[in-house]
Each structure stands twice: as C-alpha cells, then as structure tokens.
Amino acid sequence: MTMHATIDRVTDRIRERSLNSRAAYLKKIARAAEGGPRRAHLSCGNQAHAYAAMPDKQDMAETRKPNIGIVTAFNDMLSAHQPYERYPDLIRSAAHAAGATAQVAGGVPAMCDGVTQGRAGMELSLFSRDVIALASGVALSHDVFDAAMYLGVCDKIVPGLIIAAGTFGHIPAVFVPAGPMPSGLPNDEKSKVRQQFATGEIGREALMAAEMASYHAPGTCTFYGTANTNQMLMEFMGLHLPGSSFVNPNTPLRDALTVAAVQRAAAITRLGNDYLPAGEVLDERAFVNGIVGLMATGGSTNLIIHLPAMARAAGVLLDLEDFHDLSESVPLMARVYPNGLADVNHFHAAGGLGYMIAKLLDAGLLHEDVRTIAGGGLGLYAQEPQLRGGTVHWMQGAQDTLNDKILRPVTDPFAPTGGLKQLAGNLGRGVIKVSAVAPERHIIEAPARVFADQEEVKAAFKRGEFTGDTIVVVRFQGPQANGMPELHSLTPTLAVLQDRGLRVALVTDGRMSGASGKVPAAIHLSPEAADGGPLARVQDGDIIRLDAVAGTLECLAADFDARTPATHDPDASSEGMGRELFRAFRAHVGRATEGAAVVV
C-alpha cells in the first residue's frame, strides 16, 4: 500500500511541529512506568485502604493480578450513558474470569447538550470537557490500576477522557462504547417539525410529540452529531474494539463486546507480555487517522476544537491547516443526518466503519502501521464482530456498500473532499463545514446584522426583521466570553430564512456542532471578540464576504481596521446555573484554534 502524498506530508508536518513536545511527553510516561506495577510500591496501609471494600481483597494484596480501573460517565439522565449502569458488574465479572480484578475508580460529570441547548447551562458545556479530564485525573491518582477502561460517549465526555488517558499515558486505556438507541422518528421529519414550530405552523404539543418519538430509548441519539462522531473517532484511532461503536445497547453482542474489552484491558498491562501504554497509541498517526475519519464521514465540527486539545495531552500539536489539507484529499463517503437522511443504525447496517476503514486503507488514506488495543494495526478494524456461542468472533467486514445512498467507496464518493474548509481573512481564522451546504451557497456576500447572543437573533426573526440577504453575526460567544456555547438552536430560524429564498449565513466566534447542516456557518472565529478579535469591529450594514471556495472571510468596510472594537460585558455570563464557578476557566482558557482548553 502506497500512502497518499497528502497524508504523508501532513503527518510529517505534525511530527516535525511536535518534535520537542512529543519527545518530552514520551520521556514523562516512560518515567511513570519505571519500576513496574505502581501499586506494588504502596505501603501496606495504602493498599489496605484501596482494597478494603473488595470481596477478593486478600487475593489482590497477595497476587500480581492486573487491576483495572473503571472511569465511568454513567448517569441515567443521558440516554447515551444510561446503559453504563450495568457495566461495572459486567466488567468485574469478566475481569475475574480473565484472571484480573476491577474497581470503579471514579465517576465523571456528563451533561447533555440536547437538554441545555439555548439555555444558560450550555455555557458550561465546553468547560465540562476539562472538568472531566480533571475528575478522571483524581480517579486515577490513587496509583493502584494497571489499566483503565473509560466509559463515555457524548460530546465533551470522550474528549475529556482522552485528555486524561493521554495525561496518564503510561496506563493502558480501553474505551468502551454503549451504542446508539434504535431508530425512531426519521431525523428529516424531526427537522421539518422544528421548522414548522419556528414559523408558528404547529404548536408545542406537536413539537413535543415529534421530539419524544425521536429520543425514545437508552442509547446515543441516532443523528451524526458529536456523540457518534466521537465513537467513530475511537475506532479510527484504535481505542475501541473493531466494529463495536454502533452496536445497540442491552443486546447480547453489546455485552459480549464489553467482556472482550475487559479481556484486552487485562492482556495489555505491564504485568503481561503485551504492554500497550495509552501514550504509544496516541501518536501523530492515530490523530491523522482520526481526522481522516472525521472528513470521510462528514463528522461534527466540535472535533476541530476537541482534537487539538486531545492531541496536546499526548505531546502532539495540531493546527487548522492540518484539518484543511486532509479535508481537501479525503472524499466524503457517507451521508448520515444532518448530511443525509440516514441515521447511524442505517449507516452501520450499510457496512459502517469497517467498510470505510477498509476502503480508506486500500486508497492509502489511513496509516495501517499504528498500535491499537485490538493487538495489531488498523487493518483489524476492517473486520466486524459476530456472536457465536456467546463469544465474539471477528470476521471480514463488508466488501461492498449495502446502500449507496448512505455509503459509497473512495472511487465514487458523495463529494471529492471532506467538506471542511479553513477560513482566513480580516475577520480572523475559523472553519466552515460545507458537506451539507448546496454548492450555490458556498459564497455569500451580504450586509451584516450584528447580535450579542442567539436570543436576540430569534427575537429579530419573530419581529420579521429579516427581509433581505443577511449575514448574521453572533459575537461574544467564544470561550473567554461565555464558555463558547453551541448555537444549534439558531438552525431552524436560519433554515427558514434560507427556505424563503434569502441568501443567509452565520458568522460567529461560537460553535454550531455536528448538528449544523445546510446553512453556511463560519464558526470558531479566532481571536474571539472578547479577546479583542476583529469580529468586535463589525457593524450593522457592513458587507461581509464568506467564500468557502477560496477559504476567505472578509469584512469589506473601508474603515474596518481603524474602528474601535465593541466591548464585552462579562457580567452577562457571570452568574446562574453554576457559571460563577467557572470564572477562572473563562479567564485562563486558550483560543479555539488551539483547543479552547484550560488544562492542556
């Protein structure tokens, strides 16, 4: 297999950029691994505290069985995480059968962006990723675990857990999915109902009925947003078992895959002959593979923020140019809502990730020579799991797509590129996802309407103020200003304007997430307005040109550079719903282009 020139070039560029930081990281985790299993160095009293509640505590103290730490994001408010309630008992039982032990090391918070959309709580969402990393650090700080199993699915949870896995890179890490809920009301029908509600055609009762029919069971939401993009990423990066991402919860195959994950966790500790520290999995090739998967599937734009933070925890430095260049060379192979009508269950049935990985490997668009928890290279991930006699066996995956309206080969993709563009100009640097945007809308030039939050936009819409082509500017939505909430609740409003024949676009220093779709959205503008970024100088009526073809974003006002920027009122997001607890985060957070992180 000959590697695609762009994949090689971008990988080499990341490797060179990360030379010093990666070398320092590898030395750090090597020092941490010195001396063998960590708990052997604890005093008798320390160990007694750690094992006191375990039924086999004497066995743990006297043998060299691997001890697996479980870091869980279980709560039963999130449908995606509710299935994890059963996992600790299942893992402990499987560990015992594998000659190991397991303990719940700690829990991490897991908030639902679907609940907090458009609410004050959403301003904590991005920062919850860093809190999850911190909480995981506390869980693993007891130094008694030979491997860690991370139970998490959704938006900020997996990135936070990866930051922790990278930080504790001397400990083997196995990520364990929970799977998507069965298909409910089709996503396009749900979207139609939301737009009808936005225009007043239907009432709240009809809207509620549609939403309840969409989100109806344990498991991940079935559209291809950040949660399911996370699951794809873990498979492309070799941290899930092959083919495990999209198996529905509470099924025999799902449980058998969890048992198999425990067996791998027990096998790759320093006590055996197949030691695989997480830091060796999380190298520049793994992150390039993850970005290729992001582009090939049309995944969530949130990962453009998360991946640099995740990589930094392992000494790997990513830049927007890496995402842009890989997108230009990776074809869009999947159409999953909001980039199509199918949901992730349909995608999985059509051949899913195994088919995609096989075809991308054949085309030289993925690194096969990576370390994975499956015990070999990425070629193992072209297989799919089957249940035989209660045990998982991996078989060759689909060789051909089973539905070319959902999944296509590299040689006949839905689009020749991944649809992600870097934008640069006098409004700063940002990105736009165009995989679901009609080609005739890739260039929008129109007068600006400037707003300080999304509620102002919706109020102007209700007053009938959008009567011509408009670029909606929503600023002071970056991490320093208010934690960078998703602005997904603007999607129905902007979609209605577009359906009325207007040429509209969104420009913001905030986020739109993997649920963004057909309306052009220039997002993650950096430096953000609250950091003195140029978005703070835009005024109503300025002509803005968003050109996703050329990759430019410009305010065409002649006096633009000479203007005094508008100022942000920090009190607007300082209190309520716990926001006062995150003042230090807002004061110290990095730029969106670098991962919008506090802890890395």
d(CA 162, CA 133): 8
d(CA 451, CA 510): 12
Q: Quick one: DSSP state of residue 536?
A: G
What stretches of 173-214 adopt beta strand conformation (E)? Answer: 173-176
**Are the CB atoms for 243 and 231 separated by under 8 Å?**
no
Using only C-alpha atoms, what is the Rg of the chain? 24
d(CA 209, CA 1): 51
Question: Closest Cα to residue 227, out of 304, 323, 156?
Answer: 156
**Are the CB atoms for 322 and 10 separated by under 8 Å?**
yes
CA 94 to chain centre: 29
**Strands 543-547, 443-451: parallel, antiparallel or unpaired by DSSP?**
antiparallel
Give me the amino acid identity at 234.
M
The owner of tokens 């969530």 is 300
Q: Was 112 annotated as part of a binding site? A: no
**Are the CB atoms for 303 and 229 separated by under 8 Å?**
yes
Q: Was 555 annotated as part of a binding site? A: no
CA 214 to chain centre: 21
**Are the CB atoms for 60 and 95 separated by under 8 Å?**
no
d(CA 16, CA 12): 6
- Show the tokens assigned to 540: 């109503």
Question: Closest Cα to residue 545, out of 422, 433, 446?
Answer: 446
**Are the CB atoms for 434 and 520 separated by under 8 Å?**
yes
The H or E element that residue 281 is part of is helix 278-281
Give me the amino acid identity at 208.
M
Residue positions forming the annotated binding site: 154, 221
Binding region for [4Fe-4S] cluster: 154, 221
